[in-house]
Amino acid sequence: MKKNLFNKAILLLLFGFVITSCKKTAESPEAVEESEVSTEASYNFPFYDPSLSIEERVEDLISRLTLEEKSLQMMHNTPAIDRLGIPPYSYWNEALHGVGRSGKATVFPQAIGLGATFDSDLAFRVASAISDEARAKYNAAKEKGYHKQYGGLTFWSPNVNIFRDPRWGRGQETYGEDPYLTSIIGASFVRGLQGDNDKYLKAAACAKHYAVHSGPEKLRHQFNAVANMKDMWETYLPAFKALVDADVEAVMCAYNSTNGEPCCANSYLIDEVLIDEWGFDGHVLSDCWAIADFYSQDNGHGVAANAAEAAAMAVKSNVSLNCGASYGALPEAVEKGLVTEEEMDDQLRILLRTRFKLGLFDPEGSNPYDDIPKDVINSDEHRALAREVAQKGIVMLKNNGVLPLKNDLSKYFVTGPNAANVDILLGNYYGVNPEMVTILEGVTKAVSPASQLQYRLGTMLDRQSLNPQDWASGNAGNSDATIAVLGISSLLEGEEGESLASPTAGDRLDYNLPKNQIDYLQRLRNTAGERPIIAVITGGSPMNLAKVHELADAVLFVWYPGEEGGNAVADVLFGKMSPSGRLPITFPKSLDQLPAYDDYSMEGRTYKYMDEDPMYPFGFGLSYSSFSYGTMDVSSETIAEGEELSVKVKVTNDGRYDAEEVVQLYISDLEASVRIPNFQLQGTQRVHLQAGNSEEVNFKITPEMLELVNNEGKRVLEKGEFKIYLGGSSPMKRSLELGASKLAEAVVTLQ
């Protein structure tokens, strides 16, 4: 009798521990318990034996887990299992443009700024640096026994959604509006993040948010994005396919529904496409609390009655990991017959494989990444790389000849709400750094000691001053150059709940710059007279810059340029670097040129389907130099299925400055049987040319590049004529109006 009572007491204690753990995970998204658990020597289970295969080790571990333990290991913050020597682990970490939310790290320019470089090799170098720092930080935390959220090696980056509409506040997290550009940069980022070791992942990357996800932010937990098969396969899915081909370890399903099914229970997207057609064998995870949206009746999809039903639905939909607490109800779901323990095991098996590939159950020192030292974090090399990315991402939109500035003029005036603002260096999903260089600091450092420099804020970010006196704008009248740092920050655009000054949950339903900034720029212009004004614009999305273009002598769009942003802007302002960034997204003149925000059809959107002249076209960006393109040399005027041809063109730097040109290849189908893009980006190369020098640039044209996507979503090859363009911008006529070089053109025939 006493023995039975003792056993019941033990069971109650264990049950209480499980319930407490579940409650802790559910109530606090960052609650990962600390533990002194060690996997060294004192534990000798087969799953710790690196000589066994990963499959054998995973099976051994699963066989030792209780049903409750399995459910807890399928949520983003996993508790320790002391009896097996397993410490806590949090799957939730961020690395969008540097290790995020986890202390000191190199802060690279926001993702959209990396997209503006049009440089996939640079993306690889950035991601390699990020994963080095990630391993170094993980190694340091492990030594201390820390297991906090944002301390693991599973990074929920990159974001390869298509920035289809400039109103989306999270578009800054993407590489722009073009599937090809997003694919090449995203795939390179994945390769850099995950490393090239045959046995171990340096870090695990994640493609998000799958799929057809780009606002509205306020409705994302309940919105149904309707996209036809042509748009799905031509625009929304190619980048995800490219990342699967690059062996991305994880895919995150989005909050919203797509074509009537929640993305995290979408049989077409997950089962038919991702797993069956593409052969994805990594783990699928939910966006955070997306499973709870299944059973939210007021602000969700309402497809389940409770957490147990929702959890069972997600597991049966091949979602291995729940960011959230809904999977805490899986034991109840098993008891009710909604899902089987074997079905749970199938998903846990996939999920645990990632941790084994990261070496988390291997002895210290067996992983080559265990030796990455702490001094790589924010190293001089990484800071130089952050500066390079910021330099190459800056897009010059206008220059009437005032740039580059001399650095020894008698007086400079730096002004504007973002000149001394650290927030505009960061964007969202950022890390922190002890040496953030604001634009004011960068300019101040770059000017001669003989020069004067004045700084005044001048105007606030998004509201008029309550003080009618203006002690700022007068400086423009007695300065040799005024540098007005305007634009927006993550206070006005970003994710739901993040943008504190946004009345529309982070989206930008007002396309204009805040009126007070335009009013201030007008006062500067009135005061400056003929003295030059350079507008430096910060932000992560297109905006109406018509008045800025009119009032300023030069306009630089610098995105959210990272920790070295101030130095990079100064490098361009003073001619240390010629600007070479290109717009990865079209800037319309106004929102009137676009379809409704919640319309996911691509008709009238992006450079591919927009027939009206934009303010600034996709691929556009000016240089301090000028480039000319010779006649395009095509290896053959015809191409047959299964063959390829080469095209080449001589690019010449006709100007006075050494500079980089971003050569872009576009193809237009002249005889398609269905609606097709006006033209499509199919290649890009950066070329550094000294003043007066030339270089021959080569591209391969394959039949796959000539395929179209028909109305059923199938890629097909139709015979006929195709026009090929090579140049420093897209073929939109607006590019030439703004000063872009004339493109080289040729026509080939597919036989």
Beta-bridge mates of residue 639: 750
- Alpha-carbon distance of 102 to 704, in angstroms, equals 43
728 touches 661 (CB < 8 A)? yes
Token readout for 713 is: 């979503």
- Segment 722-732, tens digit of pLDDT: 999 999 999 99
538 touches 487 (CB < 8 A)? yes
- Alpha-carbon distance of 457 to 414, in angstroms, equals 8
- Segment 571-616, tens digit of pLDDT: 999 999 999 999 999 999 999 999 999 999 999 999 999 999 999 9
DSSP SS3 for 725: strand
What's the pLDDT band for 37 if we cut at 50, 70, 90?
low
- Segment 356-382, tens digit of pLDDT: 999 999 999 999 999 999 999 999 999
- Segment 301-324, tens digit of pLDDT: 999 999 999 999 999 999 999 999
For residue 41, pLDDT over 50 is answered with no
- What is the number of other CB atoms lying within 10 angstroms of the CB of residue 34? 13
426: closest CA among 435, 417, 436? Answer: 436
What's the pLDDT band for 5 if we cut at 50, 70, 90?
very low
- Alpha-carbon distance of 453 to 471, in angstroms, equals 15
- Segment 505-536, tens digit of pLDDT: 999 999 999 999 999 999 999 999 999 999 99
110: closest CA among 514, 462, 495? Answer: 495
Contacts of 267 (CB under 8 A, 6+ apart): 261, 317
For residue 35, pLDDT over 70 is answered with no
What's the pLDDT band for 667 if we cut at 50, 70, 90?
very high
How confident is the model at residue 42, as a pLDDT? 60
For residue 34, pLDDT over 60 is answered with no
Contacts of 263 (CB under 8 A, 6+ apart): 209, 210, 211, 212, 213, 253, 254, 255, 256, 257, 269, 290
- Segment 109-167, tens digit of pLDDT: 999 999 999 999 999 999 999 999 999 999 999 999 999 999 999 999 999 999 999 99
- Segment 685-709, tens digit of pLDDT: 999 999 999 999 999 999 999 999 9
Residues catalogued as catalytic = 287, 493
Report CA-CA distances (Å) from 300 to 222, 304, 329: 4, 10, 18
What's the pLDDT band for 1 if we cut at 50, 70, 90?
very low
Rg of the chain's alpha carbons, rounded to an integer?
Answer: 27
* SS3 sequence of 271-302: HHHHHHHCCCCCEEEECCCCCHHHHCCCCCCC
Instruction: With residue 68 as reference, give the H or E element that holds it.
Output: helix 67-72
Integer distance in angstroms from the first to the last C-alpha of the chain? Answer: 89
739: closest CA among 633, 617, 648? Answer: 617
For residue 40, pLDDT over 80 is answered with no
Token readout for 717 is: 């090859």
Instruction: With residue 536 as reference, give the H or E element that holds it.
Output: strand 533-538
Contacts of 346 (CB under 8 A, 6+ apart): none
| Domains of the chain, first to last | 2-374 (3.20.20.300), 384-585 (3.40.50.1700), 627-750 (2.60.40.10)
| 459-484: average pLDDT | 96
590 touches 711 (CB < 8 A)? no
Q: For 392, list phi and psi in degrees, rounded to 5.
A: -75, -15
Q: Output the CA angle 40-44-45, nearest 5 degrees.
A: 120
DSSP SS3 for 204: strand
684 touches 181 (CB < 8 A)? yes
How confident is the model at residue 43, as a pLDDT? 84
For residue 21, pLDDT over 60 is answered with no
Q: For 513, list phi and psi in degrees, rounded to 5.
A: -65, 150
- Average of per-residue pLDDT values in the chain: 94
* SS3 sequence of 620-648: CCECCCCEEECCCEECCCEECCCCCEEEE
- What type of residue sits at position 595? P
- Alpha-carbon distance of 655 to 706, in angstroms, equals 35
What's the pLDDT band for 297 if we cut at 50, 70, 90?
confident
Beta-bridge mates of residue 89: 78
Report CA-CA distances (Å) from 537 to 511, 548, 557: 14, 9, 5
Q: What sign results for the dihedral spanned by CA atoms 594, 599, 604, 606?
A: positive
376 touches 531 (CB < 8 A)? no
| 72-84: average pLDDT | 98
For residue 24, pLDDT over 50 is answered with no
DSSP SS3 for 414: strand
For residue 218, pLDDT over 90 is answered with yes
Query: What percentage of the chain reaches a pLDDT higher than 90?
Result: 93
Beta-bridge mates of residue 684: 664
Token readout for 661 is: 């040109």
DSSP SS3 for 554: strand
| 438-460: average pLDDT | 98
Instruction: With residue 13 as reference, give the H or E element that holds it.
Output: helix 2-27
- Alpha-carbon distance of 650 to 406, in angstroms, equals 32
Q: For 30, list phi and psi in degrees, rounded to 5.
A: -110, 15
